[in-house]
C-alpha cells in the first residue's frame, strides 16, 4: 500500500509540476518576446507619459496593444497583474517530487555505490548543498563587480556549472546527477524571481503609489536576472526529459554530455532572443546542431565493448579491462534467464518484490523466458551499453554477468532460442 500511495503522490505532483511549469515558462518566453519586439510609440502623447515602446499583436481573434514604460506610469491602475505564482508553484511541486523520488528513494535513484559509496543521509546532504550553494554563489557573482559585465559573468557562471555537473556525476547516480543539476538551475531561477525580481517590482510599485520616482536599478537588476532565467530554461527542460534516455546519463562521460547539451540549449535560446529583435545570425543554431551531432556520434554504441572484471562477485565493483567478446565459456539461454530472474525481476516482474515499485517500471516484465527474449535489445542496452540497470545496482549484478549478456546478444542467441521453440 505504501508503494501505491507514493505512486499516486508522484503522479499528482508531477502533473501539477508540468502544468505550472508550462505556465511559468510560457509567460517567461512571452515577456522576453514582448520586450524584444517593442517599437517606438506612434503617439507623441504616450512618449510624454513615459512609454518606452509598444507592440501590436493579434491572437485568438482579438487585437492587443501592449506598452512598456521606461520606469513606471505616473499613476497605477487599481488592478495590476503579477507573474510569480507560476514560478513558486513549479518550484514547490518540483522540490516535492525531488524529495519523494530522489531523497525518500535515495538508495534507488540517487546513490550508486559504483560511483561513490555514500550513505543515504550523506547523499541527500550533498544534494541540498548543491541546491543552496548554487544559488548563493550565483547571487554573489551577480552582485559583485563582475555582474556589471554580462559576457564575463556568463563565462564564469558557465565554468562553475561545468564544475557542478562534474561534481554531481562523481557523487550521484547519473540519473540523480542530471535531475539535481536541473533542480539547481531551477532553484536559481525561482530564487531570482523571489529574491530579486518581485521585491524590485514591489519597491517600484510602492514608490509610484507614493508619488516617488522608482529606482531604475530595480528594473535593471530584474531584467538581468530575467534574461539569465530564459537562458537556463532549455537546459532545465532537457534535464526533465533526460531520465528517459539512459544513453546520456548512463554514459561514462555523462557530465560532459550534460554540459554539451545544455550549451546547445543556451545557444538555441540565444538565437531566438536575437531573432525577436529582427534578423539574427544562424551561427548559434549551427553551433548547437554541431554540438548535438557531435554528442550523438561520440556516444554511439560500438563493438566490441570493453567490460571490466569484478573484484568480488557480491559487490559489483570493478578493476581492469577485459574484452567481453572473448572472455568466458560458452553459455546458453538458460544462463541469461537465470541472471535476469536473479537481478531484474525483483522490479521487472508481474508482481515486483522490491519496495517502492507497485508495478514493473515502464511495464517491462521479465518473469518468463518469452518476455526476456522479446526484450533482448532493451536488456542489452540497459545492462551492457549504459550499465544503468539494475538501478543503482541494487541487486548487485556482476560484470561477469554483464559480459554474459553481452556475448549472448552479440551471438544472436535470442533468435536461435525463438527459432528452436
Residue length, the chain?
421
Please, which contacts does 189-193 make with residues 24 or more away whose CB atoms are closer than 8 Å?
189/87, 189/228, 189/229, 189/232, 189/233, 189/236, 190/87, 190/88, 190/90, 190/91, 191/135, 191/139, 192/225, 192/226, 192/228, 192/229, 193/84, 193/87, 193/88, 193/225, 193/229
pLDDT digits (tens, 9 = 90+) for 256-274: 999 999 999 999 999 999 9
Domain boundary among 252, 276, 298: 298
- The pLDDT tens digits for 48-102 are 899 999 999 999 999 999 999 988 888 888 899 999 999 999 999 999 999 999 9
Give the three-state DSSP class for 72.
coil
Given pLDDT bands bounded at 50, 70 and 90, which one contains residue 302? low
The model's pLDDT over 106-161, given as tens digits with 9 standing for 90+, comes to: 988 999 988 999 999 999 999 999 999 999 999 999 999 999 999 999 999 999 99
Residues 353 and 281 placed together within one structural domain of the fold: no
pTM of the predicted model as reported, rounded to 2 decimal places: 0.82
3-class state of residue 304 by DSSP: coil
Q: Which H or E element spans position 57?
A: strand 51-59
What percentage of the chain exceeds 70 in pLDDT? 90
Examine the domain organization and report whether 286 and 180 are in the same domain: yes
Task: Say whether both 311 and 218 belong to one domain.
Answer: no
**Residue ranges of E strands in 289-412:** 306-310, 318-323
Quote the domain boundaries for residue 243.
Answer: 2-15+83-298
In a domain, 78, yes or no: no
The domain boundary, picked from 298, 315, 338, lies at 298
Residue 51 is assigned to a structural domain of this protein: no
Q: Does residue 235 share a domain with residue 131?
A: yes
Of 298, 315, 333, the residue at which a domain comes to its end is 298
Please name every residue paired with 65 in a beta bridge, in sequence order, or none if there are none: 56
pLDDT(395) > 50: yes
8 Å CB contact between 356 and 6: yes
Q: Are 214 and 71 in contact (CB under 8 A)?
A: yes
Q: What angle do CA 411, 415, 417 make, to 5 degrees?
A: 95
Q: Answer yes or no: are the C-beta atoms of 375 and 362 closer than 8 Å.
A: no
Number of domains in the chain: 2
Confirm whether 406 is domain-assigned: yes
The whole-number pLDDT of residue 2 equals 75
> In which region does residue 60 sit, left (phi positive, over 0), alpha (psi from -120 to 50) or beta (all else)?
left
- Residue 421 has a pLDDT of 44
d(CA 295, CA 246) in angstroms, rounded, equals 14
Q: What is the pLDDT of residue 303?
A: 52
Residue 41 domain flag: no
Amino acid at each position: 500500500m505504501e508503494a501505491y500511495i507514493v505512486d499516486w503522490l508522484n503522479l499528482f505532483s508531477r502533473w501539477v509540476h508540468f502544468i505550472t511549469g508550462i505556465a511559468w515558462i510560457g509567460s517567461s518566453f512571452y515577456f522576453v518576446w514582448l520586450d524584444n519586439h517593442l517599437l517606438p510609440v506612434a503617439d507623441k502623447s504616450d512618449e510624454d507619459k513615459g512609454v518606452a515602446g509598444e507592440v501590436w499583436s493579434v491572437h485568438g481573434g482579438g487585437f492587443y496593444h501592449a506598452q512598456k514604460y521606461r520606469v513606471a506610469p505616473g499613476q497605477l491602475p487599481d488592478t495590476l497583474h503579477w507573474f510569480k505564482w507560476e514560478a513558486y508553484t513549479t518550484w514547490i511541486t518540483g522540490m516535492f517530487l525531488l524529495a519523494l523520488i530522489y531523497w525518500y528513494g535515495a538508495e534507488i535513484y540517487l546513490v550508486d555505490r559504483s560511483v561513490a559509496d555514500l550513505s543515504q543521509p550523506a547523499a541527500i546532504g550533498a544534494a541540498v548543498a548543491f541546491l543552496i550553494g548554487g544559488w548563493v554563489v550565483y547571487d554573489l557573482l551577480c552582485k559583485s563587480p563582475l555582474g556589471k559585465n554580462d559576457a564575463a559573468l556568463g563565462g564564469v557562471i558557465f565554468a562553475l556549472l561545468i564544475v557542478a555537473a562534474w561534481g554531481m556525476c562523481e557523487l550521484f547516480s547519473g540519473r540523480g546527477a542530471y535531475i539535481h543539476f536541473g533542480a539547481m538551475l531551477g532553484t536559481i531561477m525561482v530564487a531570482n524571481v523571489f529574491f530579486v525580481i518581485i521585491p524590485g517590482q514591489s519597491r517600484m510599485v510602492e514608490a509610484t503609489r507614493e508619488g516617488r520616482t522608482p529606482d531604475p536599478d530595480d528594473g535593471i537588476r530584474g531584467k538581468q536576472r530575467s534574461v539569465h532565467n530564459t537562458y537556463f530554461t532549455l537546459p532545465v527542460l532537457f534535464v526533465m526529459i533526460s531520465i528517459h534516455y539512459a544513453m546520456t546519463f548512463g554514459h561514462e562521460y555523462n557530465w560532459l554530455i550534460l554540459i554539451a547539451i545544455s550549451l546547445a540549449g543556451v545557444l538555441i535560446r540565444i538565437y531566438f532572443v536575437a531573432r525577436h529583435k529582427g534578423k539574427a545570425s544562424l551561427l548559434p543554431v549551427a553551433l548547437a546542431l554541431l554540438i548535438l551531432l557531435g554528442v550523438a556520434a561520440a556516444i554511439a554504441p560500438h563493438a566490441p565493448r570493453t567490460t571490466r572484471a569484478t573484484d568480488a562477485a557480491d559487490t559489483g565493483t570493478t578493476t581492469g579491462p577485459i574484452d567481453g567478446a572473448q572472455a568466458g565459456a560458452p553459455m546458453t539461454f538458460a544462463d541469461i534467464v537465470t541472471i535476469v530472474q536473479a537481478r531484474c525481476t525483483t522490479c521487472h516482474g508481474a508482481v515486483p518484490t522490491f519496495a517502492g515499485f507497485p508495478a514493473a517500471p515502464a511495464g517491462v516484465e521479465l518473469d518468463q523466458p518469452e518476455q526476456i527474449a522479446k526484450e533482448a535489445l532493451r536488456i542489452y542496452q540497459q545492462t551492457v551499453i549504459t550499465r544503468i540497470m539494475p538501478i543503482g545496482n541494487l541487486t548487485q549484478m556482476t560484470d561477469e554477468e554483464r559480459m554474459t549478456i553481452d556475448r549472448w546478444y552479440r551471438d544472436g542467441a535470442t533468435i536461435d532460442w525463438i527459432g528452436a521453440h
